[in-house]
Amino acid sequence: MSNLQWTEIVIFAVLFLVVTVLGFVAARWQAGNTLDHLDEWGLGGRKFGSWITWFLVGGDLYTAYTFVAVPALVFGAGAMGFFALPYTVILYPIVFLPLLRMWSVSRVHGYVTPADYVRGRYGSRLLALLVAITGIVATMPYIALQLVGLEAVLRTMGFNGAGFLGHLPLLIAFVVLAVYTYQSGLRAPALIAFVKDILIYVVILVAVFYLPAKLGGWETIFNSAQAKFAATPNPADGILLTGANQLQYATLALGSALALFLYPHSLTGALASRGRNVIKRNMVALPAYSLLLGLLALLGFVAIQAGSKAITNQATGRPDGNTIIPVLFDTQFPAWFAGIAFAAIGIGALVPAAIMSIAAANLWTRNVYKEFMHKDATPKQEAQQAKIASLVVKFGAVLFILFIDPQFSIDLQLIGGVIILQTLPAVAISLYTRWFHLWGLIAGWVAGMAWGFAMLYVIPNPAAGKAHFGGSALPLGQLSIFGWHPFSGSTTQIYVGFVALIGNLVVAALVTWIMRARKVPNGLDKTQDADYHADEGDPRLREVAVH
């Protein structure tokens, strides 16, 4: 670590100190009567308005990993990396109405997590437990990926040691994050999101205007990118999609859009808002981030023209592809502005990591601890359990980085999308209908998980030296249904999560038909139709933070 970039480090540290102070101050910001209640600690008092919710949800969905990895994927593969753009464009119309219904029924009944809702909708501890465990397992690698983005920035600034000292700045950052999240709950990332988003917007807008002008213009940049991809052995790489990856692109975009608001941390931001109108305004305004994301992805092509090279990770001896954009900023910007850019990415890791850990802690507390370990837990005991669980989740994510190759955690995130999609019938579809039988949903979940993991297992990643779990795209020719290969010989790729979801729905429908034919009871529904339309001011809304 002899090549430390001190100007960048000082600016990074100053801005990090600012958000740390904000994190502790947040405990008194819009404070309720107590933080010893999940409504207050885990959902910010359920009273965030339009602006706070916009920054909070945007800060949650557009993470450090997004700002580092999307342009890095464009740098490495070209057009395929732009799947994130249509995915975030179609996302908001898809979730607009279901999210309103989820907010209403959750406020009427006091639900804190999606598993709480499933428990009330079907009266099944087992189904709620499956949804809760799925959410926790899918969220863990997502938190680890925020560390990947933060470490890429730290590595670019010179913290690239092979041992403990190389990880020390990361550990310090997450100890600070853990402490102020423990104290302030969801209010901390909500307040910090203001700083994070402003910094990100400034950096990206400067980058997309300044860097092309410096490097010869967009025509030169696109020509350089095309020349690079033409020289690569993979025919699917290029600035345009090919016949082999168009289906993968479409199914990955659609599958990711369906999955995103199934993640517990995405719902946490929505449930913290004060009313349905707040959510409506946000679903209209949040696509502004998609514009930012599109501009950001183009930086992958800019990095090609700039000749950016990935920094070798001293811990693994392999190039770290996530450093491509930090290296671009480091080499093309003045040191002081590079420091601001790195702070934006670093703070962009802390906001979603905090929200994700809170959401996972809420699931553990409400749907495992209270349901199976301590049914008579008081609100104060629930809040204390959630605070402890949030610490465990954070440091569990740190262990991914300390003891596992970061590339492996990236693969885990792809697997996480396949996992969380299997809760769509139980969580999203049930907001509209209870046609699916309780046991059909459980059977569909088991089938979707089993088939999804079976497909993921056979996907290699030669570049990373892996024979299994090397990605989320499967050639149709390898698609097997009990040994039958309906698309034998096809090299067209498809997103595994999309295929597994179809299998889930088919099995759920078949078992539902059988259960209905045998007149098996479908659980107890504690919700009513009117619950899904209640809005701010409705007398049916449960009072917040009632002991």
pLDDT digits (tens, 9 = 90+) for 26-60: 877 776 667 788 889 988 889 899 999 998 888 87
* Band (257; pLDDT cuts 50, 70, 90): very high
Domain boundaries, the chain: 12-427, 435-521
* Band (506; pLDDT cuts 50, 70, 90): very high
What is the structure's pLDDT at 134? Answer: 96
Distance CA 76, CA 126 (A): 43
Given a cut of 90, whether residue 146 has pLDDT beyond it is no
Given a cut of 90, whether residue 106 has pLDDT beyond it is yes
What is the structure's pLDDT at 320? Answer: 80
Distance CA 18, CA 175 (A): 16
Q: What is the pTM of this model?
A: 0.92
* Band (160; pLDDT cuts 50, 70, 90): confident
> What percentage of the chain carries pLDDT values higher than 90?
51
Distance CA 360, CA 386 (A): 9
Residue 513 CB partners (closer than 8 Å, separation 6+)? none
What is the structure's pLDDT at 1? Answer: 52
Q: What is the DSSP letter of 461?
A: B
The residue among 468 and 199 whose pLDDT is bigger is: 199
For 176-219, the pLDDT digits (tens) are: 888 888 888 898 998 898 888 899 889 988 998 999 999 999 99
Given a cut of 70, whether residue 411 has pLDDT beyond it is no
Asked if residue 271 lies in contact with residue 112, where contact means CB atoms within 8 angstroms, the answer is yes
Distance CA 360, CA 136 (A): 5
The secondary structure of 130-141 as a DSSP string is HHHHHHHHHHHH
| Segment among 62-71, 91-100, 235-244, 251-260 with least mean pLDDT | 62-71
Stretch 94-114: mean pLDDT:
95
For 472-490, the pLDDT digits (tens) are: 888 888 888 888 888 888 8
Stretch 136-155: mean pLDDT:
85
What is the structure's pLDDT at 178? Answer: 85
Stretch 454-465: mean pLDDT:
78
Domain 12-427 has CATH 3.30.365.10: no
